[in-house]
Structure 1
Amino acid sequence: MHRHLRFVRRTIEKLEDETIAFAARHGLRMLRVSLGIVFVWFAVPKFKPGLSAVDTLAQDTIAALTAHLLTGHPATFLLALLELAIGIGLVTGLFLRLTLAGLMFQMAGTLTPLALFPEQTWKAPLVLSLEGQFIVKNLVLIAAGIAVAGSLGRAGLTSRHPAIPATARHARAGRPAALHLRHESEQTDPGRPAGRQSDASTST
């Protein structure tokens, strides 16, 4: 009975370790590419007047932010070009620093209607309209962009600052931090059965 339980536990732990390893190796790349696909998807309808559901709000926002220097379809056309460039940069990984700078610039602009047009974006205090909900979801895109940006200089940052925790260095190398911590705890735990320590060292 205990043998079967140990087998099940080891199987679950191995599956967990492999899942964490996959996420550590590919998670940021998947996040970057999926974020780029979203930007391309948002951009394409804006090239045709009236096709995008947010055309009017986008035109009004750009007009307000540019003191009415850009209005109407030319405004949304330029926005579409910017979003398309951001999307292509994220999907391909080319000019990533410039791409992320453009992303943050564009995202900052998308939040401004909450203050510029409260009658369209709020139904009541702390209650967003449909347009407002569409805008607030951009917080997730901003956070995703920050996560991608944080991966750019991690190697150089670690080399310049050796005090950075070992978990960050192992994550950069593709080794999951959770596996590193588990390995360290198993090596330093004198009360842990020797067989489990050997299993952990083999799996890592």
Structure 2
Amino acid sequence: MAAEWMHKHGQIFLRYSIAAVFIWLGALKPLGISPVNDLITNTVFWLPSSIFIPFLGYWEVLIGVCLIFRPLLRVALSLLFLQLFGTVLPLFLVPEVCFTQFPYGLTLEGQYIMKNFVLLSAAIVVGGGLSKQSPQYAE
């Protein structure tokens, strides 16, 4: 019985929780209060952070909003996959900020980046529901 309930409601809870993460963490960036703003500035040093960080924040909020509305899921997932590729850049461009001991000792920033693999996997699960025609994937 619990498994049936989870199967029926899991997709929508997953979508809404990913949306909340993107809206919340994205909104912090243009407000200038995100703890990763310095990491972004040091990673994407070729773009002015005063423009790029708010742009990235609005992009993330847009991902979250699109996740809420099922007709916009394909847009959300496309934007999300593009955004997540950028989130791993610090691992390669500023590894001294991400690792206490390469390749396994992660700093707090490195852990923040690694959690994106969970978001990516969750997005794949949500995207897998797009091809389903059963009612548990609809609102």
Query: Partner letter of residue 97 of structure 2?
Result: Q
State the distance in 2 between where 1:135 and 1:123 align. 14
* Equivalent in 54, 69, 78 of residue 101 of structure 1: 78
What does the per-residue CA deviation read over 1:21-47, in whole Å, with 9 as the maximum and x for residues that have no partner?
111111101100110001011011111
What does the per-residue CA deviation read over 1:138-181, in whole Å, with 9 as the maximum and x for residues that have no partner?
110000000000110134xxxxxxxxxxxxxxxx465xxxxxxx
**Unaligned 5+ residue runs, structure 2?**
none
User: Which residue in 1 is equivalent to 2:26?
Assistant: 43
The TM-score, its normalising length taken from structure 1, stands at 0.63
User: Which residue in 2 is equivalent to 1:131?
Assistant: 109
State the distance in 2 between where 1:60 and 1:89 align. 29
SS state at 2:35 partner: coil
User: Which residue in 1 is equivalent to 2:99?
Assistant: 122
SS state at 1:123 partner: strand
Query: Partner letter of residue 84 of structure 2?
Result: M
User: Which residue in 1 is equivalent to 2:127?
Assistant: 149
Identical residues among aligned pairs (%): 34
User: Which residue in 1 is equivalent to 2:88?
Assistant: 111
State the distance in 2 between where 1:115 and 1:151 align. 33
State the distance in 1 between where 2:89 and 2:50 align. 19
State the distance in 1 between where 2:65 and 2:44 align. 23
* Equivalent in 42, 55, 62 of residue 60 of structure 1: 42
What does the per-residue CA deviation read over 1:56-107, in whole Å, with 9 as the maximum and x for residues that have no partner?
11123233xxxx2x22221100001100000101123241101101001101
User: Which residue in 2 is equivalent to 1:191?
Assistant: none
Query: Partner letter of residue 4 of structure 2?
Result: A
State the distance in 2 between where 1:46 and 1:93 align. 26
State the distance in 1 between where 2:27 and 2:135 align. 37
Q: Once superposed, what is the RMSD of the aligned Cα atoms?
A: 1.4
**Unaligned 5+ residue runs, structure 1?**
1-17, 156-171, 175-204
Asked whether the 8 Å contact 1:37–1:91 carries over to 2, the reply is no
State the distance in 1 between where 2:67 and 2:7 align. 19
The TM-score, its normalising length taken from structure 2, stands at 0.91
Asked whether the 8 Å contact 1:61–1:116 carries over to 2, the reply is yes
**Does 1 or 2 have the higher relative contact order (CA < 8 Å, sep 6+)?**
2
